[in-house]
Structure formats: structure tokens, C-alpha cells
Structure 1
Amino acid sequence: MTSASTAARRGASTRRPSRRRDHFAYPGWFYAPAAVIYAVLFLVPTFASFYFAFTRWTFTTSEFTGFDNFITFFTQPRLSTSFTNTLIYATLTSGAKVAIGLVLAVVLTSGIFARGYLRAVVFFPVLVSTIGVGITFKVLLDPFDGVVNKALAAIGVRGPGWLTDPDLALYSIAAVDVWKGVGLATLIYIAGIVAIPDEYYEAARVDGSSAWSTFWTITVPLVRPATVTVVILSLIGGLRTFDLIWAMTGGGPGFASDTVASVIYKQYAAGFYGLSTAGNVILFLLITGIVLPLFLFLNRKSKEL
């Protein structure tokens, strides 16, 4: 009996780790639905676009043309302007979202009055349709009947053509983009700041550190993972931006606010499907070539801290 009970205990002890592993490990079929959705919505369209970029295709036929679509795309008028605009737009919007989002997060994690309500107000624009925001601000920024210029005229200031001046159009759209998207950056930063242990701030207060010094020596370094997330998400969004620009200016005036994505859409709207697909491939490679090295660099720097 003793030997049997000992053997049973040994068997139980040898089986416990496997049951524990089974408890924490998910079976393979658990990942199947997500894998199917990912393959159907991302992998298949991606590989298909790489193929169709080398063809002249319609919805019923396709003809292999080699690199003709890519050569034609790079000969588009003012293409260099659209590339420059894309880089400027992405840099401005991502930088502004990082700076403003961090400041707002610091304010909204302090003891400010109505903190919860203000957080909701800051995040609300993220929930609004981008096309709706674009149309709304197109009306507000109208050089003649817009509310913004009328308000400036009331105090004796002549408002510029926010969306009709080639020198201002892209920057006006970028400002609207920041207004709409900074709420998400703020939310990410709030999560990062709340995760910082209070002991760091208590030690800083004991040492007599000023609020500014505490911000630079504690908050900024410890929210670096949040900064990486905000930079990457904002940069990807800025590089592939289309809907807000199209709703506000359609890429105009002239080519002043054209981006790579708007050029691609114009080709698609004109019926050049293979050419627009080649442009999408180029944009995909551009985003990957910029974001992936930056992501690896920022993550490596985070691990060194």
C-alpha cells in the first residue's frame, strides 16, 4: 500500500507540471481565427498587389508589363513635390503629437480640476470621422466665409487663405491632423505616466527637485516606451495620409498639398489600376524603409537606458 501510494504521489507530481503548462499554453486551434483573418485581410492583398503592380489590369483581365508601371509612376509630374510633402507632413504631425501629447498627459495626470472630463474632451476628436473633420474644417477655414477668418477680422486681423495659399495649405491640414490625433498620443502617454512608480517622484521631492527637473529626469526617460509607440504610429499615419488631405484640398491648390497617397488615388480614379497599384507598392516600401529602421533604433536605445 505504501509503495502504491508513493507511486501515485510520484505520478501526480510528474503530471502536475504538464497540467500547469496546459493551463497557461493555448492550443494551436485557438490562433486559427486570427490567423485566417490576418491572411485574408493583409497577406493575400499584399502579395496580390505585388503581382498586379507588374501588370496592366482591369477587373476582368491582366497583362504582364514588367517594370513599366514603376517607370511611369516615377515620371509623374511634380512627383518629387508629393514625396517632399509626404515627408514634411509626417515629420510635422508626428513631432507635434509627441510634444503636445506629452504635455497634455502631464497636465491630465496632475491634480487638475475636472480631470476626467478634460481627458474625454481631448480624446473625443479621435472618435470623429476623418472625412467629417476634413469637411468641417474646410468650411471653417474658408478664406471669405469661414468662421476663423471672420473671427480674425473682428479683431482687425486679415486672415490668410488657409487652404488656398500654396504656402499654407499643407501646414493647415497638418494642424487639423494634430488636433484630431493628439488625443490618442495623450492617452498612450497617460498610460505610461500612470505606470511610473510614485517612489521616484517622492524621492525627487525629498531631494528638492523642481517640477521642471522632475519632468526631464524622471517623466521623460520613463515614458520612452510610450514615446516610441507614439512616434511610430504617428509616422506611419503621416506617411500614408490621404483622407484628410483629400477632404480638405484634394491635393491642391495645384500640387501644393499632394502626397504620395493622393497621387496614387488620382491614378486609380483615372482608370490606371496597375499604375496605382505600383504606387501603393512604392509607398509600402517607403514606409517600411523609414519606420522599420527607426523602430529598431528607438527600441535599442530604450534597452540601453
Structure 2
Amino acid sequence: MSTTRTHPVAGRATEVPPRSRTSPPSRRRSSRTRDRLAAAAFLTPLLAYLALFYAFPLFRNLDLSVRGYTVRNFVQGGAPFIGFDNYVKVFTSQTFVPALTHTAVFTLVSIAFQFAVGLALAVFFHSSFRLSATLRALFLVPWLLPLIVSASTWSWMLNSDSGVVNSLLRAVGVDPVNWLTDPNMALVSVLVANIWIGIPFNLVILYSGLQNIPKDLYEAAALDGATAWQTFWRVTFPLLRPVSAIVILLGLVYTLKVFDIIWIMTRGGPAGSSTTLATWTYQLGFGSLLPNFGPAAAVGNILIVLALLAGLAYIRLQRRQEA
């Protein structure tokens, strides 16, 4: 029913429209529905991408590791289920312990040197001086180069006969070293190359973390008479712990699966002296005329578990710091 109201000036009756019959709860429910549909529309492509490029390959790799695949049944299908026999073959293989040891040494030494040198360079560039931005940009070159180019360059530099490193050693009267063909030096050679490639990443992330530390803290430390070393250990390093944890975690996950650098430089040799889990899984799956897809998938799953454990350790560490 409409109501009439007298206009105070014209003295005429005006008709006031009836109130809306839609209640506020109904409008809220309609708004929530639209928000959910919009969220689902944005989320669907991401879920499809994760399912297609992460979930399905992971499931396929698990299936490969528990079946007796050959080239014929890999193409035609019908591979028999053999349970954990492939994992037993991997764990009892003479290559497993050396490959696991090389992986651990390669990963831990790479991360330690990359983080230490990257942190030192980040602190160095944090102080303003001329050409600091230019020099910092030049340090990014190893990180920007394709890995195949970097690995090929290091292979040429460390060549026993025509490498520039041995040429310099001869020039100063030192006997040349068989960097890539000596079992005692092959792992060291690929370590040096990987550390050189990973330093710029640590430099960039840690330098960004230093930029977020308030300068007032450094001024207060200077007023208290703290030395540069005391300021670093009591101000800089503690405040960099969250960034440092992320850098170490990403470096750990990346270094565990390094394959191209080692394969291009040494192919895991000589005599398996630089074989890691990443190169071993490639050798099992594609390095021979009779590929072993099942054991290769099992080694790949071991790498996935190691990376997962690293991620869980990082989450636990973050929770302890927040508590």
C-alpha cells in the first residue's frame, strides 16, 4: 500500500514508492554466492594446471616405480605389478650409497658456500659506493646464463689439455690437474661450477632482505659503540633469519635435483665418482639400450621424498621462530 505525503512548499500530495521487498539476509546470501563463483572461476585454472603438470606426473611416476616396465609394455601397456621390488633393487645396488653420499656432499657444500659468499657480497654491496649497482648487475650474469652454456664453459676451462685453468697453472710452474677425468677431482669440479652459478641468487635475495632492515637499528648500535662485527652478528644476521631460511630451502630443493651441470661436465664419471641421485635416475631410464624405467622412477621418488622432508623441516623451523 502506497502512502501520500504533503509537500511543504507546493502543498501537493506526493506518492512515496513502497520499500524494497528484498531482505538484507537475502542480499548477503546472493553476494556470497557471487563471491564463491568468482573464486571458483579464478581457482579452476590453477587446479587444472596442478593436476595436469604435478599430480598426474607424480601419480605416473609412482605407478612406474611399482611395476615391471620394459620398452614393449611401456608402449603397449600391461606392465605387471611387482610392489616394492624396484625400491629393493635401488637400495641394494652398489651405486646407491655412493650416489647418496655424492648428493649429500654436493648439496651441503654448494649451499654452504653459496650462502656464505652470497651473504658476504650482499653485506658488501649494502654499503653505498660508486658503481655498486653496476657491479651488482654484473654478478647476475652467471645466474642469467643458460645452464648448458655455463656447464660447457666450465668444461672448456677445466679441460686437462687445452683448458685455461691448466694453462695458468703451467704458467706459474704448477703441474696441470685432470679436473674432469680424475676420480678425486671430478666432484670438486662440478661443485665449483655449481657454487659459481648459485651465488647470484643468494646475493639478490639476501640483499633484498638487508634493504628491509631499519637503518635506525644500525645507528643505535653505532651509538652504543658496537663494532662492525658485533653489529653484523647481533643486528644484521638475526634479522635476516627468515630470509636466510627461505634462501637455504630453495637452494636445497634446487641443488638436490641438479642434473644438467653434472651431466654436461662429467656424465657422472669417471667411474661414478660424481654420480648423484639425479644423474643416476637418468642413467637408469635413458642411459642404456635396455632402460630400467621402474628403478629410475624409484630413484626419482627418493629425490621427491628428500625435497619433501626439507620442506617440512623448513615449516617446523618457521613455527618455532614464530612461537
State TM-score, norm by structure 2.
Answer: 0.84
Residue 214 of structure 2 is matched in structure 1 by 197
Partners of 1:261 and 1:71 in 2: CA distance: 18
Partners of 1:37 and 1:69 in 2: CA distance: 30
Residue 36 of structure 1 is matched in structure 2 by 48
Residue 122 of structure 2 is matched in structure 1 by 105
Provide the secondary structure at the position in 1 that maps to 2:68. Answer: strand
Q: Deviations over 1:101-129 (max 9, x none)?
A: 11111111211321111111111211111
Partners of 1:59 and 1:152 in 2: CA distance: 52
Partners of 1:158 and 1:35 in 2: CA distance: 58
Once the two structures are superposed, the pairs formed by residues 54-203 of structure 1 within 5 Å of their partners are 54-57=66-69, 58-61=74-77, 62-203=79-220
* Matching residue within 216, 220, 223 for 2:233: 216
Structure 1 runs of 4+ aligned residues shifted over 4 Å read none
Compute the displacement of 1:300 (Å): 3.3
Partners of 1:148 and 1:301 in 2: CA distance: 46
Unaligned runs of 5+ in 2: 6-15
Residue 280 of structure 1 is matched in structure 2 by 300
Amino acid at match of 1:185: N
More helix by share: 1
Q: Deviations over 1:139-187 (max 9, x none)?
A: 1001221001101211222232222221221122111101111111111
CA RMSD of superposed structures (Å): 2.6
Partners of 2:75 and 2:118 in 1: CA distance: 44
Q: Does 1:298 align with 2:317?
A: yes
Compute the displacement of 1:238 (Å): 1.9
Partners of 1:199 and 1:179 in 2: CA distance: 34
State which structure, 1 or 2, has the greater radius of gyration over its C-alpha atoms: 2
Partners of 1:294 and 1:158 in 2: CA distance: 45
Compute the displacement of 1:249 (Å): 0.2
Partners of 1:223 and 1:186 in 2: CA distance: 13
Select between 149-158 and 71-80 the one with higher mean Cα deviation. Answer: 71-80
Q: Does 1:227 align with 2:244?
A: yes
Compute the displacement of 1:99 (Å): 0.7
Partners of 1:276 and 1:27 in 2: CA distance: 40
Q: Report if the CA contact (8 A) 1:224-1:302 is conserved.
A: no
* Matching residue within 34, 39, 54 for 1:27: 39
Provide the secondary structure at the position in 2 that maps to 1:266. Answer: helix
Identity percentage of aligned residues:
32
Provide the secondary structure at the position in 2 that maps to 1:163. Answer: coil
Q: 1:229 to 1:153 in 2, by over 3 A?
A: same
Provide the secondary structure at the position in 1 that maps to 2:80. Answer: strand
Taking CA–CA contacts closer than 8 Å with sequence separation of 6 or more, which of the two structures ends up with the larger relative contact order?
Answer: 1
